[in-house]
Structure 1
Amino acid sequence: MVEIGYKLACEEHGPRELVCNARQAEDAGFAFAMISDHYHPWTSTQGQSPFVWGVIGGISQVTATLPLVTGVTCPTVRIHPGIIAQAAATAAMMMPGRFALGLGSGESLNEHIFGDPWPAAPIRIEMLEEAVEVIRLLWKGGMQDYYGAFYTLENAQVFSLPEELPPIYIASEGPISASMAARVGGGFINAGSDAEKNLIIFRDSGGGDKPAYIEISVCWADTEETGRMTAYEQWPIPANTGELNRLLPTPTHYEQVAKMVTMEDVAEHVVCGPDPEPYIKKIEESAKKGFDHVCIHQIGHQQQEFMEFYTKEVLPHLTK
């Protein structure tokens, strides 16, 4: 049976609100949550971007059963994988048995900010694979040295390690990263781009029956028109295609691109309005593609209303 999760979008909500939303998601019966890791929001309208590891600490103290996945963290440019190894180990200690480390190759929007060049996609994937190697080396415990193509460790040791190490899931929206995810990851994450094709590559490359996560953006609202307008104003990102979302460097650039798409363009990718049937259909379509974890991202600030809607109108149809 497919598990339904809730997206904690750090681009749209402040740290205290995210912690509160996580608690409410647990109470509402969501099977898991995913939390994004950004330095910038996509657009200034979204308006937030707290430090995810601080937020995770807060979530660990107000939830008791809700599994949490970073969806996703980039351990390659802005943050050295040795730091991610320490941060994720701490999170796993604070949430025993319910934390998973989702990793991806990132976006220029978040990663170029200290003046580092933004590598081409194949190089980013190589960096991500080496970063996973660094993280797992440090999770072995003891003093470690590492001299790789991209990263160096000298006399590094993560002293605080959980009894149960968290799984590492790899995000992919292309064939190279999909096969790499099968090779080095314990699971697969897709944000919705070429999902079925890349999941097939993941499975055929050795992914087997490992967990597969997909994210769906929706906008519950009192009317479909209101939902469409909110999605267009708050989250025009789904209308962008290809490599664009990996290359633009600032929220201003995404705002410029947003002027080139219409509300209808965004609505083609985002379920909007109060009717539960399109939401149920979208989840069922994802399950038919082979995803066993579907994470729902509610756009905008009506999070509590959305959770009430899902609890009453959507989840019961998916647990029969």
Structure 2
Amino acid sequence: MAVRFGYTLMTEQAGPRQLVADAVRAEAAGFDFEVSSDHYFPWLSSQGHAPYAWTVLGAVAQATERVELMTYVTCPTIRYHPAIVAQKAATLQILAEGRFTLGLGSGENLNEHVVGEGWPAVGDRQLMLVEAIEIIRALHEGGLLDYRGEFFQVDSAKIWDLPDEGVPIGVAVAGERAISEFAPIADHLIATEPDPSLVSMWNDVEGAPTIGAPARAIGQIPICWDRDRDAARERAHDQFRWFGGGWDVNSDLRTTAGFAAATQFITPDDVAGSIPCGPDLDEIVEAMSAYWKAGFTDIALVQVGAESQQAFFDEAAQPLLEKLRSAAA
């Protein structure tokens, strides 16, 4: 399976109209797919945005023709009931004419706390996600669903507009426990670390679809391209220093103020050590290569900073894609 390269619609750093425009530009530049975050809050106040991802994706589905689309990722357990996620995923798949994949995860406190239902322990969050996937799968099969689980109840629900292609599901995993739980019930693996053990553990799980055929392993990496390296470093520090906190920290912090406090001592040098910053496309290729070397089939980049997107598309996107495809071949 040839490595595919994607573009991230980062809802935390741009408003809805720009996100749709950027999606069109990304398709024109030659990206294979586009993923969208699904947030109620930005990570840091300096990012400044959090539009409703599903409305944006509906508009993107109509504004684009070729690129595949994906949520990266939606939590279908607290802020959204899984029956509602099943309905909107089916609708989006129809609008996208089969180009949509539903990416799911167990969520972050930052986004899920807003409905006042509390923040469960990680074990419960994973069990909730299992039930949510069961509900979504059942509703996408058609018919009337009654469901009684430990966490969710569904009463006489039916999705009336179902896509002929169905809706493939990717699940975000970060360790052996999650992989053993979700690999047999997912179509694709999602991860934010280029860890080859994730792919090998997934492929070792009985009943899991094999990465490479037919399953995909979908990763993501932030970059901060800019003609001015110093400007790139400052922008990455201002808007993306939260990235180095790791999943254990990032999933539990509740507000942008919490992320600001947790990252107050992180320097621009620290950020530049983990995010490629500046005009060197070969540096970006080297950073992204860790994913295909780890067995990932799909890699989405995040270009940091809403104000930098136009210059990135005008000057860097196409030559970067050429270099990436050549290096990954």
Deviation of residue 223 (structure 1)? Answer: 2.2
Letter in 2 for 1:297: V
Letter in 2 for 1:270: I
Closer/same/farther in 2, CA of residues 180 and 308 from structure 1, 3 Å limit = farther
**2:227 aligned to 222, 232, 251, which one?**
222
**2:255 aligned to 229, 250, 258, which one?**
250
Q: What CA distance in whole angstroms lies between the structure 2 residues aligned with 1:127 and 1:195? A: 25
Contact 1:181 1:202 in 2 (8 A): no
* Aligned equivalent of 2:171: 170
* Aligned equivalent of 1:11: 12
Deviation of residue 197 (structure 1)? Answer: 2.9
Q: What CA distance in whole angstroms lies between the structure 1 residues aligned with 2:289 and 2:260? A: 32
Kindly indicate whether residue 242 of structure 2 is the aligned counterpart of residue 233 of structure 1: no
Closer/same/farther in 2, CA of residues 69 and 84 from structure 1, 3 Å limit = same
Per-residue CA deviation, residues 35-89 of structure 1 (Å, 9 max, x unaligned), is 0000111111111001111111111111011110100000011100000000000
Deviation of residue 311 (structure 1)? Answer: 3.4
* Aligned equivalent of 1:200: 200
Deviation of residue 254 (structure 1)? Answer: 0.5
Deviation of residue 242 (structure 1)? Answer: 4.7
Q: Unmatched 5+ residue regions in structure 2?
A: none
Q: What CA distance in whole angstroms lies between the structure 1 residues aligned with 2:179 and 2:313? A: 32
Deviates more, 1:37-46 or 1:171-180: 171-180
Kindly indicate whether residue 56 of structure 2 is the aligned counterpart of residue 55 of structure 1: yes
Closer/same/farther in 2, CA of residues 200 and 310 from structure 1, 3 Å limit = farther
Alignment of 1:272-291 (within 5 A): 272-291=277-296
Q: What CA distance in whole angstroms lies between the structure 1 residues aligned with 2:315 and 2:195? A: 26
Kindly indicate whether residue 319 of structure 2 is the aligned counterpart of residue 319 of structure 1: no
Q: What CA distance in whole angstroms lies between the structure 1 residues aligned with 2:318 and 2:10? A: 23
Letter in 2 for 1:208: T
Contact 2:35 2:300 in 1 (8 A): yes
Q: What CA distance in whole angstroms lies between the structure 2 residues aligned with 1:186 and 1:263? A: 38
Contact 2:188 2:216 in 1 (8 A): yes
Q: What CA distance in whole angstroms lies between the structure 2 residues aligned with 1:297 and 1:304? A: 14
Q: What CA distance in whole angstroms lies between the structure 2 residues aligned with 1:140 and 1:52? A: 25
Letter in 2 for 1:78: R
Kindly indicate whether residue 195 of structure 2 is the aligned counterpart of residue 190 of structure 1: no
Deviation of residue 307 (structure 1)? Answer: 2.4
Q: What CA distance in whole angstroms lies between the structure 2 residues aligned with 1:312 and 1:246? A: 34
Contact 1:181 1:187 in 2 (8 A): no
* Aligned equivalent of 1:46: 47
Q: What CA distance in whole angstroms lies between the structure 2 residues aligned with 1:69 and 1:11? A: 16
Deviates more, 1:259-268 or 1:270-279: 259-268
Calculate percent identity across the aligned residue pairs. 38
TM-score, normalized by length of structure 2?
Answer: 0.94
Letter in 2 for 1:146: Y
Letter in 2 for 1:233: D
Q: What CA distance in whole angstroms lies between the structure 1 residues aligned with 2:83 and 2:12? A: 25
TM-score, normalized by length of structure 1?
Answer: 0.96
**1:308 aligned to 282, 307, 314, which one?**
314
DSSP-derived class of the 1:155 partner = strand
Per-residue CA deviation, residues 20-48 of structure 1 (Å, 9 max, x unaligned), is 11111100000000000001111111110
CA RMSD of aligned residues (A): 1.3
**1:297 aligned to 273, 294, 302, which one?**
302
Q: What CA distance in whole angstroms lies between the structure 1 residues aligned with 2:270 and 2:32? A: 31
Q: What CA distance in whole angstroms lies between the structure 1 residues aligned with 2:40 and 2:324? A: 35
Letter in 1 for 2:134: E
